[in-house]
Amino acid sequence: MKKTMSGLAAAAAALVLAGSAGAQVCAGFPTADGQGSIGALANFPSGFDQYGAEGSYNMVGPFALNAGFIHSTDDGDDLNTFRVGAALDAGSFLGALLPGISICPNVRADHTSEEGVTLWTVPIGLGLGASLPVGSPDMTLTPYVIPALVWQRFDAGGGIDESATEFGVRGGADLNFDRFFLGGLVEWVNNSAQDAVFGVRAGIKF
């Protein structure tokens, strides 16, 4: 746990020392006000292959929404996950404390199901992000980190119904080429039954 907290502190410190922030980078989507995105992703959890699509829309103002679909497969077992999320840009309130940093409380809900078995995963966190110039004016790097409390509920029917709340963190970085972006991500929950999930994604902004 100490190593994890040290890693989070280092990531947050790196963001604080970063340059100007892009709106809603802290939610994990490199979009500006009035801009949307759509893309594809692939995750690599232990023993599974996951592929999906995601989209986001950053409203003019502090709110941003996102949604996605992920299909997981492993030797004939198939799981479908639908997700929705929202974020509130708090930069106007906290900008003086952390200049150049995109800050947003955010929530996401994932619903996974297969043959009557369901899993809800709801991370509620505070995201930090930044937009860093790289090379040409049209190229930027947008790192972000989102520590969160993660509520999970597992329901298999027949009275099998369990819920728990754990600490988790997700983060990553996207390389933006004007309206095209690609990047990597990682998501971890402090649960011995779950390994960290690594993934890649690519998309366009409109």
pLDDT, residue 6, reads 45
Position with higher pLDDT, 46 vs 188: 188
> Average of pLDDT values for 2-8?
43
The secondary structure of residue 26, as a DSSP letter, is: G
Domains and CATH numbers, the chain: 2-205 (2.40.160.20)
Query: Is the pLDDT score of 131 beyond 60?
Result: yes
Mean pLDDT (the chain, rounded): 85
Task: Tell me the residue type at 45.
Answer: P
Q: Per-residue pLDDT tens for 69-114? A: 999 988 777 889 999 999 998 866 665 666 678 899 999 999 998 8
Q: Per-residue pLDDT tens for 150-194? A: 999 988 877 678 899 999 999 999 999 989 999 999 999 998 777
Q: What is the pTM of this model?
A: 0.82
- The CA-CA-CA angle for residues 133, 137, 143, to 5°, reads 25
> 28: which 2 tokens?
């994990």
The 10 Å Cβ neighbour count of residue 190 is 12
pLDDT, residue 13, reads 41
- Cβ neighbours of residue 142 closer than 8 Å, sequence gap 6 or more: 22, 25, 30, 129, 130, 131, 132, 173, 174, 176, 181, 183
Query: Is the pLDDT score of 23 beyond 80?
Result: no
